[in-house]
Structure formats: structure tokens, C-alpha cells
């Protein structure tokens, strides 16, 4: 009968915990910390690619969208214009909209 020594199992568990903490720290440094309110303008990251030009040449962000409602801390309902269907969007796919001012040139 083979018995597994508890020391390698314990060491593996410690390494997994250290790895988990490193991954969480790395994720938290890059995670978005935006909070949007109703009426704010936002960009939405587009995951779908269309046929045509290479995906490298396609736009990654669509917008501006208007935040219609905050469903919970990380999910929002947004709409591109009053006549379009509302979309439910996770916060990681949203970025604040900053209008460009070309009149100063």
C-alpha cells in the first residue's frame, strides 16, 4: 500500500496559494475602477469582428453610448441612440467617453 507523504501536498498547496495571490494582485492593478451614472457617455469594447478588413484594422471601441441604468455594481444598461435597442454591458467593456475638441486648431 502506497502512502503519500503530506509534505509535498502541503508544499503544492502553498505554491498554489502564492500563485493565486500574485494573479489577484496583477489583476487588481489593471482592473477598471470606473463608476458611471445614468446619462454618462461611454465607449463600449466591441468583441465581434465583421467581415472585410483585417481585424487589426477594425475599430475596437464603439460609441458613444449613453448609460440608461445601473443594474448592479458591475453591469450597466446602455443605448447608442434613442431608437436603438438597449444593451446590457459588463463594466470591463466600458470606458469613459472624452469628446475631442478640434475647434482649437
What pLDDT tens digit does each residue of the chain (105 aa) get? Answer: 567 778 888 999 999 999 999 999 998 888 767 899 999 999 999 987 778 888 888 889 998 999 999 999 999 999 999 999 999 999 989 999 987 776 655
Q: Which CATH number fits domain 40-96: 2.60.120, 2.30.30, 1.10.357, 2.60.40?
A: 2.30.30
- pTM of the complete model: 0.68
Give the residue from 98, 97, 95, 92 showing the smallest Cα distance to 75.
92
The helix (run of H) or strand (run of E) holding residue 9 is: helix 6-30
Amino acid at each position: 500500500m502506497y502512502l503519500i507523504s503530506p509534505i509535498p501536498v502541503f508544499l503544492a498547496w502553498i505554491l498554489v496559494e502564492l500563485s493565486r495571490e500574485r494573479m489577484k494582485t496583477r489583476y487588481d492593478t489593471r482592473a477598471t475602477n470606473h463608476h458611471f451614472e445614468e446619462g454618462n457617455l461611454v465607449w463600449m469594447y466591441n468583441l465581434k469582428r465583421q467581415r472585410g478588413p483585417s481585424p487589426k484594422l477594425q475599430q475596437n471601441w464603439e460609441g458613444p453610448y449613453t448609460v440608461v441604468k445601473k443594474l448592479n455594481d458591475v453591469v450597466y444598461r446602455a443605448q447608442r441612440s434613442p431608437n436603438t435597442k438597449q444593451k446590457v454591458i459588463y463594466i470591463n467593456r466600458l470606458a469613459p467617453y472624452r469628446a475631442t475638441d478640434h475647434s482649437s486648431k
